[in-house]
Amino acid sequence: MNLEAVREAVAHVEDPEVPVTLVDLGVVRDVGLADDGDVRVVLRPTRLACPARDEMARRVREAVRSVEPDAGVAVEWELSTWRGDEVSGRGTEVLLQIGYSDPGAAETACPYCGSTKVRREGAFGGAVCKVPFSCRACGSTYDALRGSRSLLAGAPHV
């Protein structure tokens, strides 16, 4: 078993909705070997009800078998709260480019103009993991991921 090759393959698996790898999103928590020799991949959902969980697991299994075709693969979901401040710098850069706020920032800001004069447009967006915002400076609408640091901290919004 070439575990480094397995880790490398899993590192390229992208989230089904945003073009960011699961590693950069902080969803992949561990890749290792179980006692029975199977590859064990631990994932943390952004929200328990994330509808993409099955697809994430399928992609992870596919990635492992792309380098270890005969490997058994156990995908385990961790019972932990996902945190936006664990998204990598590379992941954050992509999220900003596609219209999400910086998940690790202490204060939410418009991903298009950088203004912090923003307004939360409700508690629920188009998916369980999204919170809708609008920018009072440039008029853009954007989403914040629900586990973003600024939302976990309960920061006030204009």
Partner 1 sequence: MSSVTPSLDSSGLLSAAEDHFLHGHLLSGWIVDYIDLEESLAVGSIAQEELAHAATLMSVHGLDEVGRDVFVYQRPAQDWRPTRLLAHRLHDWPSTVVRALLLAHAAAVRSERMSASDDPTIRDAGIVLAAEQQLHVMHWERWVQVLGGDARTADELRQRAAVVLPLGGDVFGSASSSSEPTPDRDGHAAWMSRVETVLREVGVPVRSLGDGPSERSPADEQPELLQVLAEIRMLRVEAGFGDGVRGLDR
Bridge partners (DSSP) of residue 132 are: 143
CA dihedral of 74, 80, 83, 89, whole degrees rounded to 10:
-30
Asked if 36 is part of the footprint of partner 1 (rule: CB under 8 A), the reply reads no
Asked if 155 is part of the footprint of partner 1 (rule: CB under 8 A), the reply reads no
Q: Of 3, 33, 127, 155, which lies in the binding site for partner 1, with binding defined by CB under 8 A?
A: 127
Asked if 47 is part of the footprint of partner 1 (rule: CB under 8 A), the reply reads yes
The footprint of partner 1 on this chain (CB under 8 A) covers a number of residues equal to: 15
List for the chain the helix, strand, coil content (%; round to 5): 25, 20, 55
Binders of partner 1 in range 81-110 (CB under 8 A): 81
Asked if 51 is part of the footprint of partner 1 (rule: CB under 8 A), the reply reads yes
Asked if 156 is part of the footprint of partner 1 (rule: CB under 8 A), the reply reads no
Q: What Cα–Cα distance (Å) separates residue 98 from each residue in 19, 62, 94, 141, 151?
A: 9, 26, 6, 12, 19
Nearest one of 121, 84, 115 to 102, comparing CA atoms: 84
Bridge partners (DSSP) of residue 152 are: none
Q: How far is the CB of 126 from partner 1 (least distance, A)?
A: 7
Of 19-27, 48-56, 97-105, 111-119, the window that binds partner 1 (rule: CB under 8 A) is: 48-56
Asked if 80 is part of the footprint of partner 1 (rule: CB under 8 A), the reply reads yes
Which residues of this chain interact with partner 1, rule CB under 8 A? 47-49, 51, 79-81, 121-128
